[in-house]
């Protein structure tokens, strides 16, 4: 059997990269919420972590790639997953912002960053509750993937849609109709303000690119060496094209990280595809080990880990304040928050399993 052929529904390098991204997310968010402006903008730590932040699209590329390998491809299953992600996203906002506010531990500095003063009005609390994060993007994108699936199985269909989306984004960004509710939905699609950090336009592009490679992978009978070599070649090409576009007009093609222009999105896709190739190469040099298992564990539980780390960080602001600390404190907080995130998740899973076993026993079903 060819060792480059993998018939499983998971790909090690994808899991490892997504697991690494989980760890990086904690690092980035700890800096954002606890590091003071000087630490974030003028220190080696801030510069390094902002560079790490460019790996965020890895989640989305992996999502698109894994979608093609998933056995749950029915419309009903996809919609159920999408609604679950949206539920997690808004539930996370509730525990990140609204609950700490009513507990009186949401820092006044954090509220002032929005230009608000306490007490918060109903509309301001609603604004926080409806903040668009990566989980809202993932949920909406899954719903859109139902439509993409119906267009056919050609691997170039999602890539073509993604590139078209990038071209359209600057022309639709920020469009509203001045209708309450409708405007929020439009913001989730292409908002240009800060109530939505990951709008579908342009971030859906990364999921579609991952879907392109996922389909190509299946087309080549799960040949890993081939697909990661293609990721390298495409990655270098996209880095060259995207980098050139950004250099030619930074304000248009990169704008800011959360509201990317076409060139910035292409550049970041190239950057992350090259990273995936490197991760796959590194994985090939090592036998299965404890660290790999830890990253795979993280990859398979990415949604809850993402929710837990945000809630822990935001509750922690009630003790440590918002953007108050220097390099030393941030460096200490990163491992503490990481360990606490995994501890809470482990405890949650343990309690969930106990509850499941009790329910089975009550129903008279044998469990072993």
Structure tokens that stand for 103 in this block: 């507990």
**Alpha-carbon gap, residue 220 to 4, rounded angstroms:** 11
Bridge partners of residue 35, in order along the sequence: 325
Listed in sequence order, the residues at least 6 apart from 222 whose beta carbon sits closer than 8 Å to its beta carbon are 5, 6, 7, 8
| Helix, coil or strand: residue 86 | helix
**Cβ(114)–Cβ(108) under 8 Å?**
no
- Domain map (residue ranges) of the chain: 12-362
| Helix, coil or strand: residue 96 | helix
Q: What is the pLDDT of residue 353?
A: 73
Separation in Å, CA 114 to CA 124, 144, 173: 9, 31, 21
Q: What is the pLDDT of residue 358?
A: 54
**Alpha-carbon gap, residue 294 to 16, rounded angstroms:** 9
Cβ atoms < 10 Å from Cβ of 72: 10
Q: What is the pLDDT of residue 359?
A: 52
* CA-based R_g, the chain, Å: 21
Task: Give the residue ranges of DSSP H helices in the chain.
Answer: 12-34, 37-42, 44-52, 57-69, 75-93, 99-102, 108-113, 122-129, 134-150, 156-172, 182-190, 200-219, 224-248, 250-253, 262-284, 290-300, 302-320, 327-362
pTM above 0.85, yes or no: yes
Q: In the chain, what is the straight-line distance between the N-terminal and C-terminal CA atoms, in Å?
A: 35
**Alpha-carbon gap, residue 26 to 342, rounded angstroms:** 11
Q: What is the pLDDT of residue 263?
A: 96
Listed in sequence order, the residues at least 6 apart from 153 whose beta carbon sits closer than 8 Å to its beta carbon are 215
**Cβ(35)–Cβ(317) under 8 Å?**
no
Listed in sequence order, the residues at least 6 apart from 28 whose beta carbon sits closer than 8 Å to its beta carbon are 49, 50, 52, 53, 56
pLDDT in tens, the chain (368 residues): 333 444 455 799 999 999 999 999 999 999 999 999 999 999 999 999 988 888 789 999 999 999 999 887 788 999 999 999 999 999 999 999 999 999 999 999 999 999 999 999 999 999 999 999 999 999 999 999 999 999 999 999 999 999 999 999 999 999 999 999 999 999 999 999 999 999 999 999 999 999 999 999 999 999 999 999 999 999 999 999 999 999 999 999 998 899 999 999 999 999 999 999 999 999 998 888 999 999 999 999 999 999 999 999 999 999 999 999 999 999 999 999 999 999 999 999 988 775 545 554 444 443 33
Residue 175 CA, chain-centre distance (Å), reads 24
**Alpha-carbon gap, residue 19 to 24, rounded angstroms:** 9
């Amino acid at each position: 059997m060819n060792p480059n052929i993998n018939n499983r529904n998971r790909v090690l390098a994808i899991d490892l990269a997504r697991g690494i991204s989980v760890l990086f997310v904690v690092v980035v968010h700890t800096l954002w919420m606890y590091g003071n402006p000087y630490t974030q903008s003028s220190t080696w730590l801030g510069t390094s972590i902002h560079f790490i932040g460019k790996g965020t699209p890895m989640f989305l590329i992996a999502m698109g790639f894994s979608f093609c390998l998933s056995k749950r491809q029915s419309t009903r299953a996809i919609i159920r997953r999408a609604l679950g992600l949206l539920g997690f996203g808004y539930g996370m906002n509730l525990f990140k912002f609204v609950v700490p506010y009513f507990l009186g531990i949401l820092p006044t500095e954090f509220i002032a960053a929005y230009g608000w003063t306490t007490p918060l009005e109903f509309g301001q609390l609603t604004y926080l509750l409806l903040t668009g994060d990566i989980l809202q993007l993932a949920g909406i994108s899954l719903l859109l993937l139902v439509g993409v699936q119906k267009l056919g199985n050609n691997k170039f269909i999602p890539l073509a849609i993604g590139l078209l989306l990038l071209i359209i984004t600057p022309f639709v960004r920020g469009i509203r109709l001045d209708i309450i509710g409708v405007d929020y939905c439009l913001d989730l699609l292409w908002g240009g303000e800060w109530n939505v950090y990951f709008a579908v336009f342009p971030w859906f592009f990364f999921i579609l690119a991952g879907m392109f490679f996922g389909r190509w992978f299946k087309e080549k009978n799960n040949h890993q060496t081939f697909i990661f070599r293609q990721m390298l070649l495409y990655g270098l090409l996209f880095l060259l094209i995207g980098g050139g576009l950004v250099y030619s007009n930074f304000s248009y093609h990169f704008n800011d990280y959360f509201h990317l222009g076409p060139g910035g999105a292409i550049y970041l896709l190239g950057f992350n595809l090259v990273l995936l190739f490197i991760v796959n190469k590194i994985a090939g040099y090592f036998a299965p080990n404890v660290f790999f298992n830890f990253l795979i564990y993280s990859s398979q539980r990415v949604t809850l880990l993402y929710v837990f780390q945000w809630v822990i960080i935001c509750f922690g602001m009630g003790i440590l304040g918002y953007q108050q600390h220097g390099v030393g404190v941030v460096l200490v907080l990163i491992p503490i928050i990481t360990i606490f995130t995994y501890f809470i998740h482990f405890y949650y899973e343990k309690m969930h399993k106990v509850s499941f076993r009790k329910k089975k026993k009550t129903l008279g079903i044998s469990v072993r």
